[in-house]
């Protein structure tokens, strides 16, 4: 029996033993996790079956067709895309057992405490300190650009554990309880008027040493594994034709013939082609990933995705003419889910500006591509061998 | 919203393709050296003959010819691999015009007399259309892929096989793909089919879709050659490939070439599977890959500095080929206009 046949049978069994129409949502999700059908490429006992990543698609389709509830993946994207692969790759057995199931089932929402006001592209220069007191780390510092922090139960954190080491060597990686009394979350209002991100202030936050991921001082290597996954999550994936921003513009084009001009027509067709090609590139990348693990190729995908979102949303504002001058709503809200293609054209135009900044700026990603894929020389890094505490700032 | 193809076609190379690619690359390295390609511009052709013999020995001429007629009965995927290698080398070859375009038309028409000759490589054929023709249209004065033993001449819905036409070579922008003026007076013509319009369109669609693979080859050569040069070339006391202005250009070019590769593979896959999405896939690949090939060749010239402007360095061969390819079998704009009708985005 092939893996695909075996999977189909396992899904049938799950559905028979836990009929979606009579089973509580959370009970069903837990049963699905325990059946190894959460993410089939994860190991047995941790929600998977140790199979190829590409086999997941069929499981999702079969469950969707049966009306099974899902784990609301958009709400727990950081947990699924970043925390989970990191815990799997670098975590202890206890950490995997404790965290992966509630993460996948959506019982615990995760956020990411990486960026700081003084450490954006130069993430390794971050200043949040973690000091060991017996078997507990005491953490102080400020993080920023934290989406979901206001609804999060747990966080992944990179903090400085040894300021006498050069910046990359003195970092460690932790799992944080966002309900710790030392954690304060404040909304960060952005260009669109809303606050999808937060500032997070950490004051004497206590983390047991058992919630450290990887060795003390290995935080940079662990974080890099996480970031690779983030870029794949942003740039790769299986999408239908006209998914995302191009679909919005194409819909406007089809429903508003009075707006059409020869100039916008040519631009639309060029961007339609580029969007379709980007989609095919994502498909090919996913076919590659089905057999292996994420590498720096996701960085190139993200570059393209950011540029296309920006050009398409800009075109749509122009195409709309008078209506392009309207803006839906400047009210300060704190959304739980971010949809780059949501709301109106003006919102999309403004929100897409972040696409070339978040998750690695396009400039940094070009460095990543040229150095790690193309093998060109690294940027001069005058700070990389100096103890972090001696760096000019 | 337009339909998404519901079956996902594989976009990764398999072992058969890798082996084929390796043997084609070896033949090209032996016969299509930059010196011999340069000589084409001075009127000396020491490439085409030996290269075609080598291709024939490898069975490439008959890849798309059915097995019953002595061919390999292979698919557009394998033909795309051959064309990508031809593009890398910027080599002159009747492969696209004879073994892909003319062969596809004749296969679609059920021909059994000309195909065996084409499949064995004994003779070559060319479809007599304007070089930039996107679709079946009136015959014009020039064609591509000459010299050809057989010219396939569309007239109305009919297709004739013409032998003994007078051809006068012309100086072309890209001498690795010869152009000629064709004079049909006194040539012998035989009717192949009086209902050939669909077959001709299929041949041109296949040609445009697989030309995209050649363009990927051109682009990849330009990217790789430029990276290798920038890792060696030193100015201001350092390797110039370490300057961020150049690194970022190459990162963008890499992304574009990877995308072109995915687009060309998808086009070839739809043609191989006779998938109804093929017209969209070809319009996408043809318009995108032709622009990436030109851009890559232009970047190669610029980033090689003065060397890129010399006759000695092969960058010029790839630039000329890429620019000519951009117009061949439909300009990017004409493919995008065709796409507008296919995906319901009318002007």
DSSP string, A152-221: -SEEEEEEES-TTSBTTTTEEEEEEETTSTTEEEEEE--TTSS--EEEEEEEEEEEEGGGEESSTT-HHH
Q: Which of B10, B241, B251 lies nearest to residue A287, judging by beta carbons?
A: B10
Distance between CA B210 and CA B217 in Å, rounded?
A: 11
Mean residue pLDDT of chain A comes to: 92
Rounded CA gap, A102 and A111, in Å? 14
> Is B251–A366 a contact, with Cβ atoms under 8 angstroms apart?
yes
CATH number, domain with residue B282: 1.20.140.10
In a domain, A322, yes or no: yes
B12 token code pair: 């990764």
**Token reading at B216:** 């990927």
Q: Does the pLDDT of residue A235 top 50, yes or no?
A: no
Chain A nearest C-alpha distance from B200 (Å): 25
List the single residue in A241, A280, A374 with the smallest CB-CB distance to B263: A280
* Nearest chain B Cα distance for residue A141, angstroms: 33
B123: which residues sit within 8 A by CB, 6+ positions away? B114, B117, B149, B150
Top residue of A58, A257, A376, A380 to mutate, by most chain B CBs within 10 Å, is: A376
**Main-chain dihedrals φ then ψ at residue B215, nearest 5 degrees:** -65, -35
Cβ contacts of B246 on chain A, cutoff 8 Å: 376
Please check whether residues A201 and A122 belong to one and the same domain. Answer: yes
**Is A309 strand, coil or helix?**
helix
Closest CA to A87 of A175, A196, A210: A175
Closest CA to A159 of A147, A170, A145, A150: A170
How much is the pTM? 0.89
Indicate whether A383 belongs to any domain: no
- Chain A residues whose CB is inside 8 A of the B1 CB are 240-242, 247, 250-251
With cut-offs at 50, 70 and 90, classify the pLDDT of residue A286: confident
Contact B255 A297 (CB under 8 A): no
Same domain (yes/no): A37, A120? no
B290, B325 Cβ separation under 8 angstroms: yes
Rounded mean pLDDT of chain B? 93
What pLDDT is stored for residue A382 in this prediction?
86
Please say which residue of A185, A217, A249 terminates a domain.
Answer: A217
- A390 domain residue, yes or no: no
Same domain membership, residue A228 and residue A211: no
Report CA A293 to chain centroid distance, whole Å.
Answer: 16
Cβ atoms A176, A211 nearer than 8 A: yes
| Active site (catalytic) residues of A | 230
Q: Is residue B81 part of a domain?
A: no
Which residues of chain A are within 8 Å of residue B251 when distances are taken between CB atoms?
300, 303, 365-367, 369-370, 374
Q: Give B64 to chain A, closest Cα distance, Å.
A: 25
- Please check whether residue A381 lies inside any domain of the structure: no
Tell me the chain B residues in contact with residue A242 when contact means C-beta distances shorter than 8 Å: 1-2, 4
Structural domain boundaries, residue B219: 199-342
β pairing state of B166-170 and B179-183? antiparallel
Q: Residue B270: count other Cβ atoms within 10 Å of its Cβ.
A: 23
Same domain flag for A129 and A151: yes
Q: What is the domain count for chain B?
A: 1
Please give, rounded to a whole number of angstroms, the shortest distance from the CA of A58 to a CA of chain B.
12
Residue A168 · residue A381 · CB < 8 Å: no
pLDDT at A236: 46
- Radius of gyration for chain A, computed over Cα atoms and rounded to the nearest angstrom: 22
B130-146 pLDDT per residue, tens: 777 766 544 444 555 56
pLDDT, position A292: 64
Nearest neighbour of B250 by CB, restricted to A238, A253, A376? A376
Tell me the shortest Cα–Cα distance from A321 to chain B, in angstroms.
Answer: 17
Q: Which residues in chain B touch residue A281, judged by CB atoms under 8 angstroms apart? A: 258-259, 262-263
CA–CA distances in Å: residue B93 to residues A283, B60, B96, B300, B311: 32, 11, 7, 23, 21
Closest by CA to A345, choosing from A319, A363, A384, is A319
Range of the domain at A65: 3-105
Q: What domain count does chain A have? A: 3
Task: Looking at the structure, tell me whether residues A59 and A179 fall in a common domain.
Answer: no
A195 and A72 housed in the same domain: no
Instruction: Locate A224 and state its tokens.
Output: 């890099």
On whether residue B280 sits in a domain, the answer given is yes
Residues of B in contact with A378 (CB under 8 A): 242
Is the same domain home to A166 and A188? yes
The answer to the question of residue B333 being in a domain is yes
Side-chain-side CA neighbours of residue B130 (13 Å) = 11
Q: Residue B138 has what pLDDT?
A: 46
Q: Identify whether the C-beta of residue B204 lies closer than 8 Å to the C-beta of residue B136.
A: yes
The CA distance from A313 to B190, in Å, is: 56
Strand partners, B193: B159
Structural domain contains residue B238 = yes
Residue B19, both tokens: 């082996």
Confirm if B158 and B184 have CB atoms less than 8 A apart: no
Mean pLDDT of A16-24: 95
Q: Do A369 and B254 touch (CB under 8 A)?
A: yes
For A77, phi then psi, to 5°, come to -60, -40
CATH code assigned at A121: 2.40.110.10
Q: Is residue B227 part of a domain?
A: yes
Residue A247 has pLDDT above 90, yes or no: yes
Pick the closest to residue A69 from A24, A102, A101 (CA basis).
Answer: A24
Q: pLDDT tens digits for A76-110?
A: 999 998 999 999 999 999 999 999 999 999 999 99
Does residue B316 lie within any of the structural domains? yes
Count other C-beta atoms under 10 Å from residue A3's C-beta.
13
Strands A183-188 and A171-177 come out as unpaired
Alpha-carbon gap, residue B88 to B67, rounded angstroms? 29
Residues A322, A238 share a domain: yes
| Site of tokens 């690619």 | B21
pLDDT of residue A138 exceeding 60, the answer is yes
Residues of chain A neighbouring B10 (CB-CB closer than 8 A): 287
| B333 Cβ contact partners less than 8 Å away, ≥ 6 residues apart | A266, B287
> Which residue in A273, A283, A288 is closest to B339 by CB distance?
A273
Asked if residue B165 lies in contact with residue B187, where contact means CB atoms within 8 angstroms, the answer is: yes
Beta strand B150-155 with B125-127: parallel, antiparallel or unpaired? parallel
Instruction: Note whether A47 and A72 are same-domain residues.
Output: yes
CB-nearest partner of B263 from A240, A277, A376: A277
If asked whether residues A170 and A238 sit together in one domain, one would say no
Is B252 in Cβ contact with A250 (below 8 Å)?
no
CB distance A336 to A151 below 8 Å: yes
Half-sphere exposure of residue A160, counting CA atoms within 13 Å on the CB side? Answer: 24
Phi then psi for residue B162, to 5 deg, are -115, 130
Q: DSSP state, A125?
A: G
Of A242, A266, A367, the CB nearest to B247: A367
- CB neighbour class for B231 (10 Å; exposed up to 12, middle 13-18, buried from 19): middle
Token digits of residue B174: 């890209």
Does B211 map to a domain? yes
> Could you report how far apart the first and last alpha carbons of chain B are, in Å?
16
Instruction: Please tell me whether residues A207 and A233 are part of one structural domain.
Output: no
Q: What gap in Å lies between CA B84 and CA B271, rounded to an integer?
A: 16
Cβ–Cβ under 8 Å, residues B321 and B34: no
Look at residue B20 and tell me if it is in a domain: no
Q: Of A168, A202, A217, which residue sits at a domain end?
A: A217
Find, in chain A, the residue whose alpha carbon is nearest to that of B342: A269
Reported as a pLDDT band with limits 50, 70 and 90, residue A232 is low
**Which residues of chain B register pLDDT less than 50?**
1-2, 137-141
- For residue A249, the domain's CATH number is 1.20.140.10
Name beta bridge partners: B235: B238
**Least confident residue range of A111-115, A142-146, B162-166:** B162-166
Residues A190 and A244 in one domain: no
Give all strands (DSSP E) within B188-286, no chain letters: 188-193, 234-235, 238-239
Min distance A76 CA to chain B CA atoms (Å)? 28
Tokens of A371: 């150095």
Q: Which residue of B has its CA nearest to A244?
A: B1
CA nearest to A378 within chain B: B242
Q: Residue A54 falls within a domain, yes or no?
A: yes
């Amino acid at each position: 029996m092939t893996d695909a046949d075996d999977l189909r049978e396992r899904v049938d069994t799950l559905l028979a033993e836990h009929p979606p129409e009579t089973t509580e949502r959370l009970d069903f999700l837990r049963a699905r996790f325990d059946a190894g059908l959460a993410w089939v490429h994860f190991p047995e006992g941790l929600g998977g079956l140790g199979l190829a990543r590409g086999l997941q698609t069929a499981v999702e389709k079969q469950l969707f067709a049966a009306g099974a509830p899902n784990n609301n993946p958009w709400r727990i994207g950081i947990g699924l895309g970043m925390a989970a692969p990191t815990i799997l790759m670098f975590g202890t057995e206890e950490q995997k057992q404790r965290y992966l199931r509630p993460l996948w089932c959506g019982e615990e929402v995760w956020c990411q405490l990486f960026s700081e006001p003084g450490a954006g592209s130069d993430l390794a220069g971050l200043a949040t300190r973690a000091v060991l007191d017996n078997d507990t780390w005491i953490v102080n510092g400020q993080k920023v650009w934290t989406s979901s922090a206001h609804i999060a139960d747990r966080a992944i954190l990179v903090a400085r554990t040894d300021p006498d080491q050069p910046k990359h060597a003195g970092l460690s990686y932790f799992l944080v309880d966002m309900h710790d009394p030392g954690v304060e979350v404040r909304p960060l209002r952005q260009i669109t008027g809303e606050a999808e991100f937060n500032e997070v202030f950490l004051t004497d936050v206590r983390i047991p040493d058992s919630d450290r991921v990887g060795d003390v001082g290995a935080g940079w290597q662990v974080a890099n594994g996480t970031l690779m996954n983030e870029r794949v999550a942003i740039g790769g994936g299986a999408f239908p034709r006209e998914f995302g921003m191009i679909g919005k513009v194409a819909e406007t084009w089809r429903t508003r013939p009075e707006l059409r001009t020869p100039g916008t027509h040519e631009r639309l067709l060029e961007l339609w082609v580029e969007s379709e090609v980007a989609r095919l590139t994502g498909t090919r990348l996913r076919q590659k990933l089905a057999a292996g693990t994420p590498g720096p190729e996701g960085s190139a995908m993200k570059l393209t995705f950011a540029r296309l979102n920006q050009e398409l949303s800009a075109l749509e504002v122009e195409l709309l003419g008078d209506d392009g001058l309207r803006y839906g709503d400047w009210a300060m809200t704190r959304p739980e889910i971010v949809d780059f293609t949501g709301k109106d054209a003006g919102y999309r135009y403004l929100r897409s500006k972040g696409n070339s900044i978040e998750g690695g700026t396009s400039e940094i990603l070009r460095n990543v591509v040229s150095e790690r894929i193309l093998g060109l020389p690294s940027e001069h890094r005058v700070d990389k061998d100096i103890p972090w505490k001696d760096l000019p700032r | 919203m337009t339909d998404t193809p519901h079956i996902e076609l594989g976009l990764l190379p398999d072992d058969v393709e890798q082996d084929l690619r390796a043997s084609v690359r070896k033949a090209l390295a032996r016969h299509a050296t930059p010196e011999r390609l340069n000589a084409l511009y001075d009127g000396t052709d020491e490439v085409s003959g030996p290269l075609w013999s080598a291709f024939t020995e490898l069975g490439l001429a008959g890849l798309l010819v059915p097995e019953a007629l002595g061919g390999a009965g292979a698919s557009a995927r394998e033909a795309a691999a051959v064309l990508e290698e031809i593009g890398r080398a910027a080599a002159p070859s009747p492969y696209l015009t004879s073994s892909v375009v003319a062969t596809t038309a004749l296969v679609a028409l059920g021909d059994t007399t000309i195909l065996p000759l084409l499949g064995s490589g004994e003779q070559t054929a060319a479809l007599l259309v304007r070089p930039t023709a996107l679709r079946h249209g009136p015959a014009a004065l020039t064609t591509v892929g000459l010299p050809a033993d057989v010219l396939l001449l569309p007239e109305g819905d009919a297709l004739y096989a013409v032998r003994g036409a007078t051809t006068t070579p012309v100086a072309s922008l890209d001498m690795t793909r010869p152009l000629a003026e064709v004079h049909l007076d006194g040539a012998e013509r035989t009717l192949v089919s009086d209902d050939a319009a669909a077959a001709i369109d299929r041949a041109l669609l296949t040609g445009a879709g697989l030309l995209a693979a050649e363009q990927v080859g051109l682009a990849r050569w330009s990217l790789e050659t430029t990276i290798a040069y920038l890792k060696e070339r030193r100015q201001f006391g350092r390797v110039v490939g370490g300057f961020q202005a150049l690194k970022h250009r190459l990162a963008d070019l890499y992304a574009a070439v990877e995308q072109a590769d995915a687009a060309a593979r998808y086009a070839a896959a739809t043609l191989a599977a006779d998938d109804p999405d093929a017209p969209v896939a070809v319009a996408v690949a043809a318009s995108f890959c032709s622009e990436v090939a030109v851009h890559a060749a232009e970047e190669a010239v610029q980033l090689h500095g003065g060397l890129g402007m010399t006759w000695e360095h092969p960058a010029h061969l790839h630039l000329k080929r890429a620019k000519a390819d951009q117009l061949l079998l439909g300009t990017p704009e004409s493919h995008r206009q065709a796409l507008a009708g296919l995906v319901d985005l009318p002007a």
